[in-house]
Structure 1
């Protein structure tokens, strides 16, 4: 008898089971978010820097200003831009600065109440001003890749690319290169500097943002080229 009732439900426009109406069929239309922003990288960062609302790139914009980099650098064509989520600059875990953000990785000398350096004592930075502008500028230039690289042309094998960091500026990376690859799984994560003996592999948090002057990828951890001894 139950089988006959279920069969009847398939023939009728609506039935109820236990007092609940059966769900009517509907056509599912998949929708893929458009990665195009229709603005250049500089405009994109500015639009994502609204105090009290959305200030995800505020720390990066402060670094750019402190380092003295002209904003036109972020409007030029034919480049790939690695953008810094605020967690890449300062990330807290249980109110402690983590060692995988810039201010937690590159410690600065601690000072006493009079402003004098305490020998042998270091702490996490509290502002960009505690670093030399040249150091901040070098890191920001390293995060700009020559050429356009995104999901359409990054594969599972490492792609070695050149950055805007001048050669020999970093003794640990004298050729100023970066590697990019795509994980061969359903997540398709872009990984930066994921090579043999790398000490710092960075996963892209949000990849494939297509700005009018080139793709951008957002990271929330430090990006650097270092190898194990």
Structure 2
């Protein structure tokens, strides 16, 4: 009798399991057929130029490049520089050009005018703003696909040689040191940034992590930063 009851119990369990599985299927929850799933990764290609990307994000959505665009317009920089191929573009988001929020990390809180943080780009000479923006454009594509692990790479920016030998009258930058060749150092970090970014790209080895890296435009690579990018070269190069 115990053997018969045991068999009945197994049948009931089997039927319950079958109903449960059927119920999952009926509920629209497809069963996993195997564990070999093809992963889906984000496509870094934006299928537009860096200039089109900046303009679009300056005018729509959270307008993250709106303040950068104001600097571009004010400076009179030749915007075709953002359209030329084979370049790396370091793009300032709204936190990097801000008077509130993350202000201590912003452009205005670092380039002081007569000892004070200005409210906008117009406090600086146009030529100064143009050359700072040119410093953020690098011929050649430098990203996680091309940079060597950990080792710093010295790159030439579009800012004219000799411009960063001194700052214009009335403008100061804490710790300023001449950068006669308008060079920059880029490297891939050997760690993570608070468990939010693994192996971020660093600019001038000063813990300025690229916030969003490797955005592949049709004419090069875009790196978005949320902090001021200094033209001061690091004293120690890794």
Provide the rounded CA distance (Å) in 1 between the counterparts of 2:185 and 2:111: 22
* 1:190 equivalenced with 2:201 (yes/no): yes
Over the aligned positions, Cα root-mean-square deviation in angstroms equals 2.9
Q: Highest CA radius of gyration, 1 or 2?
A: 2
Cα displacement string for residues 125-179 of structure 1 (whole angstroms, at most 9, x for unaligned residues): 1111111111111110000011111111112111111100111110111111111
Correspondence list, 1:2-151, <5 A: 8=14, 12=18, 14=20, 25-26=31-32, 28-50=37-59, 53-90=61-98, 92-93=100-101, 98-109=103-114, 122-151=115-144
2:231 partner SS: coil
Q: Distance in 2 between matches of 1:103 and 1:9?
A: 70
Q: Runs of at least 4 residues of structure 1 off by over 3 A?
A: 7-13
- Kept in 2, the 8 Å contact 1:66–1:133? The answer is yes
- d(CA) in 1 for partners of 2:202, 2:229: 10
Structure showing the higher strand proportion among its residues:
1
Q: Secondary structure at the match of 2:90?
A: strand
User: Separation in 1 of the partners of 2:14 and 2:186?
Assistant: 58
Q: How many correspondences in the alignment? A: 202
TM-score scaled by length of structure 1? 0.78
**CA positional deviation for 1:202:** 1.2
Aligned 8 A contact 2:164 2:231 in 1: no
Distance 1:44 1:98 in 2: 25
Structure 1 pair 86–138 and aligned structure 2 pair: CA distance change class (3 A): same
Q: Match of 1:55, SS?
A: coil
Task: From 151, 157, 160, give the equivalent of 1:157.
Answer: 151
Larger helix percent? 2
State the TM-score, normalizing by the size of structure 2. 0.75
Unaligned runs of 5+ in 1: 16-20, 110-121, 195-199
**Gap change, CA 1:67 and 1:92, over 3 Å in 2:** same
- For 1:9 and 1:84, the matched residues in 2 are separated by 62
Per-residue CA deviations over 1:25-70 (Å, capped at 9, x if unaligned) read: 426542111110111011011111225x331111111111111112
Q: Residue 173 of structure 2 aligns with which residue?
A: none
